[in-house]
Amino acid sequence: MHNIKLQSRYKDVETYYNPIDKNSGIILSNGYYVRSILDSSQTKIEAIDFEGGPMLNIGDELKGTGKKIKSIRIGYYIELE
């Protein structure tokens, strides 16, 4: 498995999906800012928005994997389905 580069609007910000196995991985970025968006109960992460993008939402397809995002956890751990 190899890292998948995710598109940013800024040329100096690099964001990657680093697979752990076929259905999970961690998002790594050299950007300074990340916004986490919680659900209405304020207990689960619904989306994360990296500096310059991309914004990743539960249910969206993660570029380069052909799979949808099932969950997002602290540390930008992503589960796919």
| pLDDT tens track for 19-57 | 999 999 999 999 999 999 999 999 999 999 999 999 999
The pLDDT of residue 48:
97
The pLDDT of residue 35:
96
Tokens of 2: 């190899």
- The answer to whether 5 and 15 are in contact (CB under 8 A) is yes
Closest CA to 78 of 52, 50, 54, 45: 45
Which residue type, as a one-letter code, is found at position 7? Q
- The answer to whether 35 and 41 are in contact (CB under 8 A) is no
